[in-house]
Structure 1
């Protein structure tokens, strides 16, 4: 097998086609492989001082193509150009990348130009999709930040203390994060009502909550609205309603409406005798004004003595088609950011390692755990820092799952081998439980530092 045959096989395997411009003879030579890619007939043709292929270049790219060709032929030794090629055989437009070298004589004049052609249409599409995704991500991030800002301002206007604000705002923020986690897992095509309900009720009052209904998926806007509504109802039930006592129950049921949309009923029973609230906070405003508008429907809240009943109606615009990817919701051990009623957590004397790459979060954790009486080890912001600290006496650890793009698994493995308990505090939405398959509590960001302290205290109590 000769060198030319080997070269031809290599070009074919790489999806490349070759061509040659002979300046002395002023001819352009198109190979069979280039013809297969571009649709330009193979063979030798007059070069027309380089204009031989101009008719196959997209009109919008032709001027730049000509300018680049002239500039390269005058002084460059190599070249690369990307443009749209209109195939003469079927009229399709494809993107091609042309690269090559120019051989020059002693006087600097070009003798031969040899190059290769590659079809980069798919690469261009992927780049355009990436740019579109980045633009969409930027749009969503700004919308989320604007919503968070509005939520903070509205919550602050209706709370009388900093502690109350932090507790209420933190819970609402967590609700938004749960909905966004489900939407992200489904590539922002929709979130199921049962998943949203499980995210709000699954971690509170085990055995006292129940939900049931057909599989229905909501649009991102409706999912966030329903998640916040369920959060407000659950918070009120824990504070004042059925979930404030062990005998109370909450039953959530939903059905699809004939004309599209859905109807959801929240029913409390077995709790304290209900009386209408005297003071209306932002939660009530959210339910009365925000929820029905975002769901294109209506909401009715009845304060019956036997228990609160809420009926939420949503229009067809709130319902989405079933996504191609539907996340699995498991009963993984997840610590939710719901304030505990057990009083201040004590970690007096406990040596707690903090591994967190976000400096502000690490400082917040350090402050919170120190206030609970812990002796903080670290914080470690990088994997190597964390591994180096493992030689110190440690009673427990708080681990971020991802450290600047690197998994915290090596740290977790060492802690596991030494039987040192740890909790994951992470922004990743793994639906299969703790990262790496470890048997460890998981606290989803955004979290309440007091809950981290409570989770660590619980781990230490189990030892």
Structure 2
């Protein structure tokens, strides 16, 4: 067997015994990244002879398309001492490549110098396949929804040809449906290839795009004020989903459901956090707070809390719903 790191006592249990008992693959390297230890799970999973992946031999276990990416990330961690974390396809003893999460942390001495790296490999192949399957279904559903917009637009156009007096109305209706389709592009699930390459690059332009189907925006009853911020592709979808859901509900039950109703969206920056407020006024009076158990409410909370690492507060004031959303600036654009 290849050489092992110095055992660390945990009672009478050695490092090797502890590592071999773990369900994950465990490995260790010298400060320069030279791999000199793998636990029993590594050899059981890969089926390779003991010691054959020491040194730089480990990289040959990765899928050819993942090798350079893994090397680049590993070299970065060695140079900076930062956490090593990456997903790649690792060759199983069956010959198949299966998705794995690789992580490693440095062990430092009292002077702060790295004396060893200890890492793990976790099999995430099933989770990746389930996520990909769900993603394909979501994209297919979104594609069909967009096709419905196109079909409805075509039907309106054909109907307008029969009734000349409805031509002006049909043009406005078609414009609204087209705007709804464009907004849908920013709130639907995307793959890396299908994500919009051009479009809103700031918070205010994103909100304007998502809210463009609602006449209140053009009429000045739906306003967007405050500081603007750069928004990247990672955050555009959750932000778009939240405000699309708020606007949809306001159109059904809230301030945007009546001609005199108004909505004010305000953005402000506080201590490296972005604060967004949604304030409805002059709509139907709120008698009591509704029970929020629907899909839209859960989607809103997932978007803010999990995807943007933020928090969301709702105030069902008699004069209208008020929502406060806060999340770190780092959640909406990469530094």
In the superposition, the TM-score normalised over structure 1's length comes to 0.34
In the superposition, the TM-score normalised over structure 2's length comes to 0.45
Which structure: larger Rg? 1
